[in-house]
Structure 1
Amino acid sequence: MSELTLEQLADAYQDYFSVEHSISLNIRPIPGPLPDEAALLNAIPPPFLLASEANSLNSSALRSLNRLGELAEELANYLQQQARKIDLLLHYVLRQQDNDAHRYTSLSYGGSGCSYLADSPMDTLQVVEIKLFLDNNDGAVFCYGQVLSCQPQQDKWQVTLVFSRIREEDRELIVRASLHQQSRLLKQHAQRRQQQTQG
């Protein structure tokens, strides 16, 4: 994806489902054109690459256990506990990448982009560096985006960003995290409705 028009950005934003949920974001405007793929790969901080690699290793290890039969369940439980320890450590390391000066909280996010409230407006098509810190130790993503829209919202500005330069495995991570969050929200909603009918 090279330099896009506003219309192309709007189309790209519709490509994936989005969930309304608060996660921590770091948004930093950067000057000049959208960096290319090579520049993105060079700019990704090592902890983000480490977290991504650990995530894919966990998934592939658990998939291969399915062929072991009866012992697989116990072994899978053990490996999941070990993975949980590593996740907690990685979560701590990733949080060191969270910069107070650039921190915002998302209104929504998904595979195409995210939205948040800012104190000051941004120009459409402005290129930004984005760090997303997903909930429940789901990982973190570093990518570049562009401002799709910036609308006044009371005394703030609602900024909508499109992920214009992102690794596919990171997009998949965001999609999985947003689907998990949607599933949790639906479950909570169902439980509330059940409690209301019982009460």
Structure 2
Amino acid sequence: MIPDSNSYFSVPHHFNVYLTSWDANQALPTDDELRDMQSVGLKLLTEVKSLEANCLLQLRNLDNDAKAVVDFLKLQSRKVDLVLQHVLEKEVQDGELFKGDQFGGSGISIISSRPLVVNEHVKTHIYLHTELVALLCLCQIQSCTPVSTDDATETAYWRCELEFSQILEDDIEQLVKASLNVQQKMLKKRKQNIDKQRS
């Protein structure tokens, strides 16, 4: 079940996406079938992230003296995430590579050198390298709009909007957290730029 598509905001961000056409005669996978479709590396990353989240949640309830321990564990978990992401990136990728330019809890936006088939379902691997997020889901192509450029000699390209049609709840949570993190970084950068201009 996909939550209301208007309930999440999207943030601009560059990332890799691999798309594979989904047979229109085949039903969309259930949550369990989607989990079975994940590679070993993806399953491992998902499991580790889930364990980390539960552990850090329990540690937050400890007193202030535990802050150093929590910070140390966060550092350790980040190291594990980086190693797992590196392993994932070395796996043979299924599908055609596209560049993503926006994401959120409801869907993604990608750049394509050709228009994609609107309403088609695609198996989608999303890799947000800087946010240490990797996931597999099913998306439906909602629209493909040609992007005009100032340079007439430049090849035309399309911005395609993809909406999640089957995605695990944990993965939506990961994307929402990542989008908030990206937004926070953008606001911090903007504030630094304003401070520089003032000084």
Aligning the two structures, in what range does the TM-score lie when normalised by the shorter sequence? 0.7 to 0.9
In the alignment, the residues of structure 2 paired with residue 158 and residue 185 of structure 1 have an alpha-carbon distance, to the nearest angstrom, of 22
Question: 2:45 maps to what in 1?
Answer: 51
How many Å apart are 1:55 and its aligned residue? 1.1
Question: 1:184 maps to what in 2?
Answer: 185
Cα distance 1:84–1:64, how it changes in 2: closer, same or farther (>3 A)?
A: same
Which of 66, 81, 92 pairs up with 2:60? 66
Q: In the TM superposition, what whole-angstrom CA distance separates every residue of 1:126-180 from its partner, at most 9, and x where no partner exists?
A: 0101111113352211100010001122411211100100000001101110110
SS in structure 1 at match of 2:130: coil
Q: Share of identical aligned residues, percent?
A: 29
SS in structure 1 at match of 2:135: strand
Which amino acid is 2:23 matched to?
A: P
Question: 2:35 maps to what in 1?
Answer: 41
Question: 2:14 maps to what in 1?
Answer: 22
Which amino acid is 2:122 matched to?
A: V
The aligned length equals: 190
In the TM superposition, what are the counterparts of 1:112-151 in structure 2 within 5 Å?
Answer: 112-151=106-145
In the alignment, the residues of structure 2 paired with residue 196 and residue 70 of structure 1 have an alpha-carbon distance, to the nearest angstrom, of 38
Q: Is the 8 A contact 1:26 1:98 kept in 2?
A: no
In the TM superposition, what are the counterparts of 1:96-175 in structure 2 within 5 Å?
Answer: 96-97=90-91, 99=93, 102-154=96-148, 155-175=156-176
Cα distance 1:34–1:177, how it changes in 2: closer, same or farther (>3 A)?
A: farther
- Which 5+ residue runs of structure 2 have no aligned equivalent? 149-155
Cα distance 1:182–1:98, how it changes in 2: closer, same or farther (>3 A)?
A: farther
In the alignment, the residues of structure 2 paired with residue 150 and residue 86 of structure 1 have an alpha-carbon distance, to the nearest angstrom, of 37
How many Å apart are 1:52 and its aligned residue? 1.5
Which amino acid is 1:153 matched to?
A: V
How many Å apart are 1:73 and its aligned residue? 2.3
RMSD: 2.2
TM-score norm. by structure 2 comes to 0.85
Range with greater deviation from structure 2 (79-88 or 158-167): 79-88
Cα distance 1:98–1:187, how it changes in 2: closer, same or farther (>3 A)?
A: farther
How many Å apart are 1:85 and its aligned residue? 2.2
Which amino acid is 2:194 matched to?
A: R
Range with greater deviation from structure 2 (99-108 or 89-98): 99-108
In the alignment, the residues of structure 1 paired with residue 158 and residue 118 of structure 2 have an alpha-carbon distance, to the nearest angstrom, of 13
Any runs of at least 4 consecutive aligned residues in structure 1 with deviations exceeding 3 A, and if so which? 66-71, 97-101
